[in-house]
Amino acid sequence: MFEVVSEDANASGRLGRLKTRHGTFETPFFMPVATKGSVKTLTPEEVAATGSKVLIANAFLLSLEPGSEVIKAAGGLHSFMRWNGGIFTDSGGFQIIRKRFSPAVQKDGVLFKSPYDGASKMLTPEDVVRIQHDLGPDIAMLLDDCPPWGTDTDGLKGSVQRTLDWARRAKAEYKDWPGLVFGITQGGIDAELRRHCSEELVKMDFAGYGIGGLAIGEPEPEMFRMLSVSNASLPRDRPRYLMGVGSPTQLFECVDRGVDMFDSVVPTRNARHNTLLTLKGKVNIRRSGFAGVQAPLEAGCECFTCKTFTKAYVFHLLHVKEMLGQRLVTIHNVRFIQRVMEGIRESLREGTFQQQKAEFLKGYKGV
């Protein structure tokens, strides 16, 4: 299912392979976010052309629209989306910290308000299992209790206890499901709670472990510290997935601390805000001086956008608010993140990760 191929001699970074029903994928890897069954503005073919192999969708939101039964009738999420690569499905636990869902955490689960019709929806660990059975992803994430940043110690203790209780209930419900199931660690930035949650989940023997409740507002050094705490308590032979991280600099730092998988809206959301990701940092296209420039968005990039169109054209599309502009920037940004990950994997293979990291961070920060 997962094997470590090689490890960085000077830190915790490692090259691995994750075997799933839809292929074997080299880690560390980055997943574009397909929350509602699509990566925003792109077709599956366009996503695959960026080098993306695995996507993540949201089981809870898909159960509301179009409904998990509709997706099951289509043959599962892979068939419904026409995606031949890997698929993770998140449970909906992250929505606990999203005010627009009006979440109410209870012992048995979470009471949400549907973003589509405003109706109240109860989501239990068992519900998530049944939904994911219908969707048929390669990797299913458990329902966890993700506390907002700033939650006090008592609140964090309650969150950890619910996360562990829900994990036990979900594990009992999955039974003979053919996919892989990941538990999710919580604990905020309390090292003892993080350690306790990780150790208890390991006793339940999941196929892999998500590291949740980070990248939600805490200072970056605290996120890195909690990564080290969590990973020290997780088994070497199971993959580690840091949820919600995708900035290029953080990808390097988190791989350095032993993370194998990532997802984030960084490339797609930046594109929708006219922001280009480059080796020198972010560039706001609308304020960049791209008007009339007959050159690719980034020299040396081989993505469809950079091979086909100019800065002048993309600037024009964004200036006149043509949707194609956002699509072209999204293609470039997703490909950029995948280029970063390809470079990381190659450096881990060759034993040059620390050098690659130093060179990238120096150039990206413009030093």
Which residues are tagged catalytic?
90, 263
CB 44 within 8 A of CB 82: yes
- Percent helix, strand, coil in the chain, to 5, is 45, 20, 35
C-alpha–C-alpha distance, residues 113 and 116, integer Å: 9
- Rounded to 5 degrees, φ, ψ at 328 are -65, -40
DSSP conformation letters of 266-305: HHHHHHHTTEEEETTEEEEGGGTT-TT--S-SSTT--SHH
Tokens 């993370």 label which residue?
A: 259
Beta strands in 101-175 (DSSP E): 104-105, 110-113, 120-123, 139-141
Assigned token pair, 175: 């039974």
Paired tokens of 164:
């562990």
Distance between CA atoms of residues 339 and 30, nearest Å? 10
Maximum C-alpha span of the chain: 61
Residue type, 141: M
Which one, of 352, 50, 131, lies nearest residue 42 by Cα? 50
Q: In what order do the strands lie in the sheet with 23-27?
A: 2-7, 14-20, 23-27
**DSSP secondary-structure letter at 237?**
T
Quote the CA–CA distance of 241 and 310 in Å, as a whole number: 36
Strand partners, 282: 277
DSSP 65-99: TT-HHHHHHTTSHHHHHT--SEEEEE-SGGGGG-G
User: Could you say which DSSP state residue 147 is in?
Assistant: P
Q: Which residue has the tokens 């604990």?
A: 187
